[in-house]
């Protein structure tokens, strides 16, 4: 195929894709977005509750503050 035919074919395909509008099933879209109501609530019921770690914050807070003092100030190169 020559360049003219190839370009015309590509232009036609691009135009077909640009102006293509399929029929939209809005009821199926609504079902997909909302999902099943009872299934979503039961899905998270079996997961364990994360423990409260706030009691350990004060205990280990001093260890976090000391790391700032140990910055390596040597120059390389």
pLDDT tens for residues 4-56? 999 999 999 999 999 998 888 899 889 889 877 645 455 566 777 888 887 77
Q: What is the pLDDT of residue 69?
A: 53
Q: What is the pLDDT of residue 46?
A: 75
Question: How far, in Å, CA of 52 to CA of 29, rounded?
Answer: 40
Question: How far, in Å, CA of 47 to CA of 55, rounded?
Answer: 23
pTM of the model as a whole: 0.30
Residue 73 has pLDDT above 70, yes or no: no
């Amino acid at each position: 195929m020559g360049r003219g035919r190839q370009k015309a074919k590509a232009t036609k395909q691009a135009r077909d894709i640009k102006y293509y509008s399929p029929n939209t099933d809005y009821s199926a879209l609504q079902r997909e977005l909302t999902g099943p109501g009872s299934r979503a609530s039961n899905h998270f019921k079996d997961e364990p509750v994360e423990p409260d770690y706030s009691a350990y914050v004060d205990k280990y807070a001093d260890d976090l503050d000391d790391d700032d003092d140990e910055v390596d100030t040597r120059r390389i190169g």
